[in-house]
Amino acid sequence: GESVGLHLPTLSVQEGDNSIINCAYSNSASDYFIWYKQESGKGPQFIIDIRSNMDKRQGQRVTVLLNKTVKHLSLQIAATQPGDSAVYFCASRGSYGQNFVFGPGTRLSVLP
């Protein structure tokens, strides 16, 4: 079956450093990927997405990289700020029209 997982369940970074959160997926047919941020007491919030015809996509302070060869996805956060502290989820879609599968999440802690 399809699964999405994360290599690191927790990540601590110094304020101002760059953060990299990783995600592995198992379904080679996955064609659409999303990163979500979840703060305490809130629902997951959309950060950035990428489709399988792209290798990289940039947003404001965030970059998503997709390596289809090894079925790996990463989220890079530049100049990490205290407000970036949250749990980050990746989600993948098996094929068009299918639902997303969410990974277990990585907790990002920003140290002062």
Partner 1 sequence: DAGVIQSPRHEVTEMGQEVTLRCKPISGHNSLFWYRQTMMRGLELLIYFNNNVPIDDSGMPEDRFSAKMPNASFSTLKIQPSEPRDSAVYFCASSSRVGGSPLHFGNGTRLTVT
Is residue 100 within the footprint of partner 1 (CB under 8 A)? yes
Closer residue to partner 1 in complex, CB, 83/112: 83
CB of 21 to partner 1, least distance (A): 15
**CA-to-CA distance for 99 and 92, rounded, in angstroms?**
8
Amino acid 70 reads: V
The answer to whether residue 60 forms part of the interface with partner 1 (CB under 8 A) is no
d(CA 34, CA 27): 15
The CB-based long-range contact list for 58-67 (8 Å cut-off, 24+ gap) reads: 62/35, 64/33, 64/35, 66/33
Examine residue 89 and tell whether it contacts partner 1 (CB under 8 A).
yes
Q: For residues 34-53, which are near partner 1 according to CB under 8 A?
A: 34, 36, 41-46, 49
- Residue 102: alpha-carbon gap to chain centroid: 10
Pick 53 or 69: Cβ nearer partner 1: 53
Q: Which amino acid is at 88?
A: Y
Rg (CA), the chain: 13
Map the footprint of partner 1 across residues 6-35, applying CB under 8 A: 32, 34
The residues binding partner 1 (CB under 8 A) are 32, 34, 36, 41-46, 49, 89, 91, 93, 95-100, 102-105
